[in-house]
């Protein structure tokens, strides 16, 4: 990657309204965020707060009603379909609550998929997919299909896949939502380690309080607005006061 940017994500007055008949649902309403390169940010908030909507806007999966999103200082509203696909393949890794692996493909093939779209050579794809799967602890499960893996293992494959093209940012929407406590904790720790190791920015939308311990910052969202932002230092201070 040629250039390094101070902010991986910036949003300016970001809003998304949904029309429901005569009603207008303000899923996001004027969100301003700056997320530094290498940061681990959690987005918390009750159900319906707009977390998934924010995730979709930052991830270039949907167009905002108003406002802007910059990824590595590129205004993504100006990108056409081809450029957006490139951005999704190369700049962003996605992790979902429901894992979303391609069910007919093996773990290796799932991890190689984004590299195919990015035009990586075959030998390099295989080498890198194996390396990533080994890194997330699935060296023994390379050729298993998703149905042959546990939930935690599937999420590890998804993490390896998200890292395949060395993205600037990983977006994770409730990555531990379908996992038990212990497995969820393992996934959170793995994400934190990879964040440190590879310097990849991670933004997770979550209800999961375990996420607080590893986050550099926590953004509280409510009714489509940023309610407050806590940084790690403040959290540490709060903890001391108890």
Ligand X SMILES: Nc1ncnc2c1ncn2[C@@H]1O[C@H](COP(=O)(O)OP(=O)(O)OP(=O)(O)O)[C@@H](O)[C@H]1O
Q: Which two tokens stand for residue 189?
A: 């720790």
Q: Is residue 60 a contact partner of residue 88, using CB atoms and an 8 Å limit?
A: yes
Check residue 241 for interaction with another protein (CB under 8 A). no
3-class SS of residue 115 = helix
Q: What is the DSSP string of 136-167?
A: TT-TT-TT--GGGS-HHHHHHHHHHHHTTT--
Residue 48: CB minimum distance to Mg ion, A: 8
Place of tokens 């999704």: 88
Cβ 177 to ligand X shortest distance, Å: 8
Query: Least separation, in Å, of the C-beta of 89 and another protein?
Result: 3
Site for another protein (CB under 8 A): which residue of 116, 229, 237, 239?
116
Contact partners, residue 62, CB within 8 Å, separation at least 6: 16, 53, 56
Contact between 67 and another protein (CB under 8 A)?
no
Q: Specify the DSSP element, H or E, that contains 197.
A: helix 181-198
CB nearer another protein, residue 80 or residue 241: 80
Nearer to Mg ion, 47 or 182 (CB): 47
Contact partner at residue 161 from Mg ion, another protein, ligand X, none, CB < 5 to 8 Å by partner kind: another protein
18 near ligand X, judged by CB under 6 A: yes
Q: For residues 31 and 41, is the Cβ–Cβ distance under 8 A? A: no
52 makes contact with Mg ion (CB under 5 A): yes
Q: Decide: 210 and 185 in contact? Cβ < 8 Å.
A: yes
What's the CA gap between 184 and 226, in Å, rounded?
26
Q: What part of residues 141-160 is at the interface with another protein (CB under 8 A)?
A: 145
Strand partners, 19: 24
- For residue 3, the minimal CB distance to ligand X (Å) is 31
Contact footprint for Mg ion (CB under 5 A): 51-52
Contact footprint for another protein (CB under 8 A): 2-3, 5, 52, 56, 59, 61-62, 70, 73-75, 78-83, 85-90, 92, 94, 96, 98, 100-105, 113-114, 116-119, 145, 161
Contact footprint for ligand X (CB under 6 A): 18, 20, 25, 27, 45, 47-53
């Amino acid at each position: 990657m040629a250039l390094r940017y101070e902010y991986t994500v910036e949003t300016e007055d970001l809003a998304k309204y949904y029309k429901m008949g005569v009603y207008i649902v303000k899923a996001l309403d004027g969100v301003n965020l700056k997320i530094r390169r290498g940061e681990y940010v959690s987005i918390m908030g009750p159900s319906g707060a707009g977390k998934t909507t924010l995730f979709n806007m930052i991830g270039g999966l949907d167009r905002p009603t108003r406002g802007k999103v910059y990824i590595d200082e590129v205004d993504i509203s100006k990108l056409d379909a081809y450029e957006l696909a490139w951005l999704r393949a190369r700049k962003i890794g996605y992790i979902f609550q429901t894992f979303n692996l391609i069910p007919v493909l093996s773990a290796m093939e799932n991890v190689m998929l984004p590299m195919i779209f990015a035009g990586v050579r075959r030998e390099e794809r295989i080498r890198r997919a194996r390396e990533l799967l080994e890194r997330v602890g699935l060296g023994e499960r390379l050729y298993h299909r998703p149905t042959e893996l546990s939930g935690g293992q599937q999420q590890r494959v998804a993490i390896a896949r998200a890292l395949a093209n060395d993205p600037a940012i990983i977006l994770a929407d409730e990555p531990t939502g379908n996992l038990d406590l212990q497995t969820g904790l393992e996934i959170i720790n793995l994400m934190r380690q990879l964040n440190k190791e590879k310097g990849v920015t991670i933004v997770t939308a979550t209800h999961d309080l375990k996420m607080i311990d590893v986050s550099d910052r926590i953004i509280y969202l409510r009714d489509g607005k940023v309610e407050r932002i806590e940084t790690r230092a403040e959290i540490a201070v709060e903890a001391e006061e108890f």
